[in-house]
A and B are shown apart, each in its own frame.
Chain A
Amino acid sequence: MRGQVHLWAAQRITAFVLAAAVFVHLATIMLAVRGGLSAAEIVARLSGAEGWLAFYAVFALAAGIHGAIGMRNIAGEWLGWRGRGFDALWLGIGLVTAAFGIRAAWGLYHA
């Protein structure tokens, strides 16, 4: 029960983080595409930039956690996937999703 409440709280808090991060993300996109978008430009912005690395890492982690908790709820309702085994599965999916995003941010940081 406690755990379920924490999942719920985590989803709300990550939703809050996502709302802010999506806003920053969209603003960055709009600024970045002005005058065309090139790989060199992206690398120039992100390479060695700790601030951006941290931002994308937090963004990816929040998205992974938020999405997995949400999918857990829907799968419980629609497919009857309930219990500790499935919870572990969703935790794995969330962390793997986040890891993909963080790896991409890490790669650009070192590019």
Chain B
Amino acid sequence: MAQLKVRIQRSDGIAEYAVAARENQTVLDVVTEIQREQQPDLAYRFACRVGMCGSCAMEVNGVARWTCRTHVRKVAEDGTLTLRPLANLPVIRDLATDMKPFFDKWARARGQFQPKDAPNGAVPVEFAVVPPSSPKRQEADAGIECIGCGVCYASCDVVSWNPDYLGPAALNRAWTLVNDVRDGGRRERLDAVAGDAGCHSCHSTQGCTERCPKNLDPSSAIAGLKRSIFWGVLAP
């Protein structure tokens, strides 16, 4: 059976493995096989295996991807896979990164829903009626499917240049809530995402949009934030 060469960036350097190349295998299958058969102490992370949880992202041949939804034959180059932990995040061990800075930035960008009619986070008395076809709701829906995998964050140059930069996922989340008519935190949220550590550092290169496995468009979300803040400055 043909062999697949797999190079893995471990905490103590690059390690090389050979596994059987199969007709149908995902990159996550390969990592799991290596851990079960050859390297029991290899650290990596996954949960759902079907593109729901967002925990299996790694850098595969230079590109951040969900390993569970990436077929080896689509990405192997000359029968070789090179795997690294997600960029722009501290490494815990081997392929497992610490997502804390990533989620801390969601909090900094005020990524939590703030019900308008129940300010302290209490459950509103009545359900809000929001037609799914209303334009505002559609804008909110455009970015709501983010599962926090960090692929966009690892693909953004501005994050690597400026460690304080909130990054595409947190800003996409902020824009989603800015468009949510039930949310009452618009002003504070726009303040929280403004400036050099926020949306104004984005160069609209669309790396995040290109790489997002959910086909979301954080780059446009950020442009929306800049637009809203711009008009807020001109006509406060």
Task: Please report A residues at the B interface, Cβ cutoff 8 Å.
Answer: 1-2, 4-6, 8-9, 12, 73, 76-78, 82
- Asked if residues A76 and B196 are in contact (CB atoms below 8 Å), the reply is yes
Contacts of A77 in B (CB 8 A): 158, 161-162, 201
- Asked if residues B233 and A9 are in contact (CB atoms below 8 Å), the reply is yes
Contacts of A12 in B (CB 8 A): 230
Contacts of B162 in A (CB 8 A): 76-77
- Asked if residues A1 and B195 are in contact (CB atoms below 8 Å), the reply is yes
Q: Is B191 an interface residue (CB 8 A)?
A: yes
Provide 25 A-B residue pairs closer than 8 Å at the C-beta atoms, listed in order of the A residue.
Answer: A1-B191, A1-B194, A1-B198, A2-B194, A4-B194, A4-B195, A4-B196, A4-B200, A5-B194, A5-B200, A5-B229, A5-B233, A6-B233, A8-B200, A8-B226, A9-B230, A9-B233, A9-B234, A12-B230, A73-B201, A76-B162, A76-B196, A77-B161, A77-B162, A78-B161
Contacts of A5 in B (CB 8 A): 194-195, 200, 229, 233
Cα–Cα, bound, A6→B195 (Å): 9
Cα–Cα, bound, A4→B162 (Å): 15
Cα–Cα, bound, A1→B193 (Å): 9
Cα–Cα, bound, A12→B231 (Å): 12
What are the nearest 7 A-B pairs in CB distance? A4-B195, A77-B161, A1-B195, A8-B200, A4-B196, A5-B194, A1-B194
What is the predominant secondary structure among interface residues of chain B facing chain A? Answer: helix
Q: Name the interface residues of B140-174: CB closer than 8 Å to any CB of A.
A: 158, 161-162
| Shortest Cβ distance from residue B100 to the other chain A in the assembled complex, whole angstroms | 23
Cα–Cα, bound, A3→B174 (Å): 21
Question: Which chain A residue shows the least CB distance to B160?
Answer: A77
Contacts of A76 in B (CB 8 A): 162, 196
Contacts of A9 in B (CB 8 A): 230, 233-234
Question: Which chain A residue shows the least CB distance to B157?
Answer: A77
Cα–Cα, bound, A2→B95 (Å): 39
In the complex, per-residue mask of B214-234: 1 if CB is within 8 Å of any chain A CB, else 0: 000000000000100110011
Question: Which chain A residue shows the least CB distance to B199?
Answer: A8
Contacts of B200 in A (CB 8 A): 4-5, 8
Contacts of B233 in A (CB 8 A): 5-6, 9
Contacts of A2 in B (CB 8 A): 194
Cα–Cα, bound, A2→B162 (Å): 19
Question: Which chain A residue shows the least CB distance to B164?
Answer: A82
